[in-house]
Amino acid sequence: MDEHTYQLNSVELHKDVLRYVDAGDGPPVVLVHGLLGSHESWSGQIERLSEKYRVIAPDLFGHGASDKPSGDYSLSSHAATIRDLLDHLGIESAPMVGHSLGGGIVMQATYLFPERVDRLALVSSGGLGTEVSLLLKAATLPGSELVLPVLASDWVRRNTESFVGQLNRWGIRVRPGASMSETWRSFKTVADKGSREAFLASTRAVVGPRGQTVSAKQHFEKFDSIPSLLIWGGKDRMIPASHADSIRREIPNSRVEIFSSAGHFPQLDEPDLFFRILDEFLAANSTVAPPARAVASD
């Protein structure tokens, strides 16, 4: 499928409109993005996966093109939204792939609705340790709602991009990778009041000034019977790859892949490698995953 040939669909859930991608005709797989993300966080992967699978990729409430209501942005609320979307689509169960906050959401869905999750793939996932970037911790502090619109303003964006362009003209090459470009693109959305409020509510539901406040570790035994895959970027500055050790220790049969040159968005930094490993995982019939190993992507 050519890039961006899919369309966004809409469904009203509890009086709010959720937008989502539904592409392909094969077995279903659900892709759940992270904070400030949208279905675009899976750019390229939707197109490739939809050649073999039915890809469901929602814009979570408060994100992307979906409504941004005031209310509950907890992991459980997002997980219930995924369940409601599957009900609307007539899908009883599916593998779920969650990136960053989306990883916490699909783990919560696995805990709350285990019959709906066939396989669990976590990509640079939240909920596996306390450490997170300073940016996310700062977003939980009082007054951050006043600072964020300034940082995401057109003036700051234009001047930052102009400064980077000037450095390049001076011969100082600044070429942000796919992870940095997606982080910058996503951050610009907090200029919108509704997106900003949803970002702060979602962040504060799982992060505090000292780091992540919500952990899935107490539910690891629930995941032991579900085939699981972890993919992480070795250069992730948002959530460190060392958090994968939590799954590696507690669920020995899980498959752990570290892309040594990738950042927080390994699906964008190493799209071919990411697709190959995820496709292998989705296509596997065995409930016993291959032994953990690291993948050198440079």
Exposure pattern of 229-267 as b/e (b: 16+ CB <10 Å)?
Answer: bbbbbbbbebbbbebbebbeeebeebbbbbbebbbbbbb
Which of 41, 179, 264, 269 is an active site residue?
264
Which of 236, 246, 269, 297 is an active site residue?
236
CA 171 from centroid of its chain's CA atoms: 35
Task: Name the pairing type of β-strands 94-99 and 117-123.
Answer: parallel
Provide the β-strand partners of residue 258.
232
Q: Is 100 assigned a catalytic role?
A: yes
Q: Is 246 assigned a catalytic role?
A: no
* Number of residues written out for the chain: 298
Report the distance separating Cα 110 and Cα 113, nearest Å: 5
Torsion of CA 164, 166, 169, 171, to 10 degrees: -60
Nearest-Å Rg of the Cα atoms of the chain is 18
The backbone torsions φ and ψ at residue 241, rounded to the nearest 5 degrees and listed phi first, read: -65, -20
Q: 177-181: long-range contacts at Cβ-Cβ below 8 A with a sequence spacing of 24 or more?
A: 177/263, 177/269, 178/263, 178/265, 178/268, 178/269, 179/233, 179/236, 179/262, 179/263, 179/264, 179/265, 179/266, 179/268, 179/269, 180/263
Which of 100, 124, 186, 195 is an active site residue?
100
Q: Is 87 assigned a catalytic role?
A: no
Catalytic (active-site) positions: 100, 236, 264
